[in-house]
Amino acid sequence: MKRNGLLVSEERNYLVLNVQQAKSIVKDWLAEIQLANVMKLGLPEIDDRYHIWRVPLCAKNGDKIGEVVIDAYSTEIIASKTTKPEILTARLLKQDETKIVQIKQGKKEYSLSNLRNTVGLGDSAQLLEDMPAESVDLIFTSPPYFNARPEYSEYEAYDEYLFKMRQIIRRCHRVLADGRFFVINIAPVLIRRASRNESSRRIAVPFDIHQLFIEEGYDFIDDIIWLKPEGAGWATGRGRRFAADRNPLQYKAVPVTEYILVYRKHSDLLIDWFIRNHPDREAVDDSKIADGYERTNVWKINPSTNSKHPAAFPKELAEKVVQYYSFKGDIVLDPFAGSGTVGNAASGLERRFVLFENNPEYLEIIREEILAWKNVNLKNVMWINCDPVKPIHKQIELFEVEKNGH
Ligand SMILES: C[S@@+](CC[C@H](N)C(=O)[O-])C[C@H]1O[C@@H](n2cnc3c(N)ncnc32)[C@H](O)[C@@H]1O
């Protein structure tokens, strides 16, 4: 397909430019797994939303029996999306392939995810559907707030909100690796009174969300309290009336905490198994946590002050979660990424990130700020439904700064 006289692959600067190159990569791979002589290739197709080539694999009679997926930027075959050689063999020999899957599961292997740093614009429920199963090692997020006033909320009713949260929690379960953690920052919400004759209402969102996690196959691990300075809750207006009148029954506590709830995808494997069987011993050693870590379930952290996002959490909070619940090199997903604080923390700590955000304005903040994040090779970032940030921008900015002498 050509746009502006250029092939899509040329426009995107892919390394795999055309059908012939895609076929030749697959032929080499088939030769390596000794299936080159028993297989035919279908017509490769480019998918520039995900920056991949899909090459159909067919038996000699022309029946499609699998597919190879190639990373268009790097030429690498994406193993998690490609039909496994043992499955191809079973299909060619018309064997029962479910037996092969069972044998594999009997002896659990530790697999390292090969996802790249990824930023996607859109509804995470949809974007999660396109991710390979068990391809992320940690999820940390803070979900959108439920706000009962329709003018401020995309959810008309609380049930509708919980339904959406369940959908995301369920889809996250599929993409999260066995036995790994889903950490969520959440707090009760205050629904302000609509008139003087009504009272305000508080909804205990964390307790309802907890139920969803349990029903969707996660084990509860910890309830960490994020404690903010005393002044932080005053803006909510809660407790002001009591402070003035001091009548019993009117007492309302000023909220200065939020929950950091920790869940683990249910697994028969003990946590020790993941430490003992991790194939990169250096990454395990390098990920050890230094003195000064949080010893109790109360973490005192100031709220974020300098973000352009109205509900950003502090980077310090994300850094703690990333350090305590992942190894270096792991993939950290935030399905409600906002300004991308999780990506910033993860890349600074030598983890990779997958960030999904449905508001183009907030995604723009990620696109601007990613230039300053550590350890990010912009050429290798996968952008879904949005334009890539080109490294050249950074160079031009640095040049301008130098030229202007500040
Ligand atoms: C509480 S904020 C997250 C803030 C983020 N932790 C930060 O530090 O900037 C929740 C975000 O989820 C986004 N969001 C809401 N529904 C979404 C959906 N279905 N898919 C993707 N993002 C969504 C909102 O636009 C909002 O930016």
In short, whether 144's Cβ falls inside 6 Å of ligand 1 is: yes
d(CA 82, CA 63): 17
Cα distances from 123 to residues 7, 134, 174, in angstroms, run 29, 20, 17
In a domain, 406, yes or no: no
87 and 168 assigned to the same domain = no
Compute the half-sphere exposure of residue 90: CA atoms within 13 Å on the CB side of its CA: 12
Domain final residue pick, 105, 137, 163: 105
71 and 126 assigned to the same domain = no
In a domain, 113, yes or no: no
Q: Which of 342, 358, 361, 367 to probe ligand 1 with, by most ligand atoms within 8 A of CB?
A: 358
In short, whether 161's Cβ falls inside 6 Å of ligand 1 is: no
In short, whether 338's Cβ falls inside 6 Å of ligand 1 is: yes
DSSP 8: H
Q: How far away, in angstroms, is 363 Cα from ligand 1 center? A: 10
139 and 242 assigned to the same domain = yes
Ligand 1 atom closest to 123 (CA): 20
Hey, is 61 helix, strand or coil? coil
Q: How far away, in angstroms, is 71 Cα from ligand 1 center? A: 28
Cα distance between the two ends of the chain: 45
Residue 289 has a pLDDT of 98
Ligand 1 atom closest to 362 (CA): 27
* Residue carrying structure tokens 């390979």: 132
In short, whether 123's Cβ falls inside 6 Å of ligand 1 is: yes
In a domain, 405, yes or no: no
Contact 319, 326 (CB under 8 A): no
In a domain, 165, yes or no: yes
Least confident of 95-99, 167-171, 346-350: 95-99
46 and 179 assigned to the same domain = no
Least confident of 9-23, 252-266, 267-281, 376-390: 9-23
382 and 247 assigned to the same domain = yes
In a domain, 124, yes or no: yes
309 and 370 assigned to the same domain = yes
Residue 273 has a pLDDT of 93
CATH no. for residue 311? 3.40.50.150
Q: Kindly report, residue by residue over 251-276, the tens digit of the pLDDT.
A: 999 999 999 999 999 998 999 999 99
164 and 203 assigned to the same domain = yes
Is it the case that residue 151 has pLDDT exceeding 70?
Answer: no
Q: How far away, in angstroms, is 126 Cα from ligand 1 center? A: 14
In a domain, 112, yes or no: no
Domain final residue pick, 105, 140, 173: 105
31 and 140 assigned to the same domain = no
185 and 42 assigned to the same domain = no
150 and 194 assigned to the same domain = yes
Q: Which of 168, 301, 357, 361 to probe ligand 1 with, by most ligand atoms within 8 A of CB?
A: 357
Q: How far away, in angstroms, is 342 Cα from ligand 1 center? A: 12
How much is the mean pLDDT over the chain? 89
Q: Kindly report, residue by residue over 274-309, the tens digit of the pLDDT.
A: 999 999 999 999 999 999 999 999 999 999 887 789
In a domain, 321, yes or no: yes
Compute the half-sphere exposure of residue 153: CA atoms within 13 Å on the CB side of its CA: 16
Burial letters for 170-208: b for 16+ Cβ neighbours within 10 Å, e otherwise? ebbbebbbbbbbbbbbbeebbbeeeeeeeeeeebebbeb
Better-scored residue on pLDDT, 268 or 172: 172
359 and 239 assigned to the same domain = yes
Contacts of 180 (CB under 8 A, 6+ apart): 136, 137, 138, 264, 265, 274, 325
Ligand 1 atom closest to 168 (CA): 19
Using N-to-C axis directions, what is the helix angle for 205-215 and 158-175, rounded to 10°?
A: 40
Cα distances from 77 to residues 59, 73, 113, in angstroms, run 20, 11, 13
Length of the chain equals: 406
Q: Is 329 left (phi over 0), alpha (psi -120 to 50) or beta?
A: left
Hey, is 316 helix, strand or coil? helix
Q: How far away, in angstroms, is 142 Cα from ligand 1 center? A: 7
Residue 103 has a pLDDT of 47
DSSP 356: E
Q: Which residue segment(s) compose the domain that 31 sits in?
A: 2-105
Q: Kindly report, residue by residue over 309-349, the tens digit of the pLDDT.
A: 989 999 999 999 999 999 999 999 999 999 999 999 999 99
Nearest CA to ligand 1 atom 6: 312
Residue 95 pLDDT level (bands cut at 50, 70, 90): confident
79 and 144 assigned to the same domain = no
Residue 149 has a pLDDT of 56
Q: Kindly report, residue by residue over 34-50, the tens digit of the pLDDT.
A: 898 899 999 999 988 77
Number of domains in the chain: 2
In short, whether 155's Cβ falls inside 6 Å of ligand 1 is: no
Amino acid, single-letter form, for residue 252: K
Residue 366 pLDDT level (bands cut at 50, 70, 90): very high
Say how far residue 208 (Cα) sits from the centre of its chain. 22
Is it the case that residue 351 has pLDDT exceeding 70?
Answer: yes
In a domain, 110, yes or no: no
DSSP 299: E
Domain final residue pick, 42, 77, 105: 105
d(CA 368, CA 350): 20
Q: How far away, in angstroms, is 145 Cα from ligand 1 center? A: 9
